[in-house]
Chains A and B, each alone.
Chain A
Amino acid sequence: MYKIINILIIIFFVTSCESMKTAKKAVTGEKKFSNDEFMVQKKDPLILPPDYENLPTPDEEAANKEEISNFEKTFGVSTEDNSSTSSSTEESILKKIRSK
């Protein structure tokens, strides 16, 4: 029995048959697993910037907007819309010109 096993082991080393699947892979140029060839430099781990604590938080900006809207409510003036006032001035000037 040992002899037969030895003979069978020998067959793996002395023969050189190749499976059709592997052959097709070689012919079609199917890529084997490899590392990222474009990654030439090792990426550093992510770290926090030194002045990270001094940066404004996103909530702060939202609070400022809320303050502005409260101001508008109490005085009834829109801080963003300046076009209406400028148009009224224009109209008054035009009226004066037309009256002359």
Chain B
Amino acid sequence: MKKIIIIIAIFFFDRVSKIYLINLQASGTDIDFYIYPFLNFYLIWNTGIGFGLASMETNIYYHILTAIIAIINIGLIFFLIKSKSIYAYLIALIIGGSLGNLCDRIYYYAVPDFIDLHLGNFHWFIFNVADIFITVGIIGLILIELLKKEKASKNV
């Protein structure tokens, strides 16, 4: 039950942030705010997958890619049901964010990204709230795997 609440909370937090900025732009405000010297909001639309890869027009390949992402989401839900403890919470973080991005892909045919972290002229990839939770979940899963390996090597 807790995991479902996590998923729903992330999904809504992500949706609210995106809808707020989209509506702001629709009302005529240019989404290019400087919050801190290293952080600004800059609304762009991503039609591809992570890290700006496979950006494309809305065509058959786009729909195939969306279908693949949907299958991955179903797989993640399957893993969530099977897994326990911290694993399940981390997967719930990933699913919450991933469903948010998938929803945009289906509804807008693109995912709005707006958080731009930068150091001077060096810009990191522009991402959204969903990506933050997905990244936290992924990093957590990788860390657990690495710790497991260390433990296993120590026991041997």
Residues of A within 8 A of B (CB): 3-4, 7-8, 10-23, 26-27
Distance in angstroms between the alpha carbons of A8 and B134 in the assembled complex? 11
Q: Chain A residues with Cβ under 8 A from B42's Cβ?
A: 23
Which listed residue, A3, A4, A14, A17, touches B125 by the CB 8 Å rule? A17
Within 8 A of A (CB), among B21-46: 42, 44-46
Q: Which residue from chain A places its CB closest to the CB of B53 in the assembled complex?
A: A12
Within 8 A of A (CB), among B97-156: 97-98, 101, 104-105, 111, 113, 116, 118, 123, 125-128, 130-131, 134-135, 138, 141-142, 145-146
A3-B145, A11-B50, A16-B131 known, 6 other contacts, Cβ within 8 Å: A3-B141, A7-B142, A17-B126, A19-B51, A20-B118, A22-B52
CB distance A12 to B51 under 8 Å? yes
Distance in angstroms between the alpha carbons of A12 and B51 in the assembled complex? 7
Interface residues on B, range: 35 or more
Task: Jot down 5 A-B pairs with beta carbons below 8 A, ordered by A.
Answer: A3-B145, A17-B46, A17-B131, A21-B52, A23-B44
Distance in angstroms between the alpha carbons of A27 and B113 in the assembled complex? 13
Main secondary structure of the interface of B (DSSP, over half): helix
Q: Which residue from chain B places its CB closest to the CB of A7 in the assembled complex?
A: B141
Main secondary structure of the interface of A (DSSP, over half): helix
Q: Chain B residues with Cβ under 8 A from A3's Cβ?
A: 141, 145
Q: B8 at the A/B interface (Cβ < 8 Å)?
A: no
Q: Which residue from chain A places its CB closest to the CB of B51 in the assembled complex?
A: A17
Q: B17 at the A/B interface (Cβ < 8 Å)?
A: no
Task: Indicate the member of A8, A17, A19 with the most B CB atoms within 10 Å.
Answer: A17
- Whether A15 touches B116, Cβ cut-off 8 Å, given contacts A7-B145, A10-B94, A23-B44, is no
CB distance A20 to B116 under 8 Å? yes
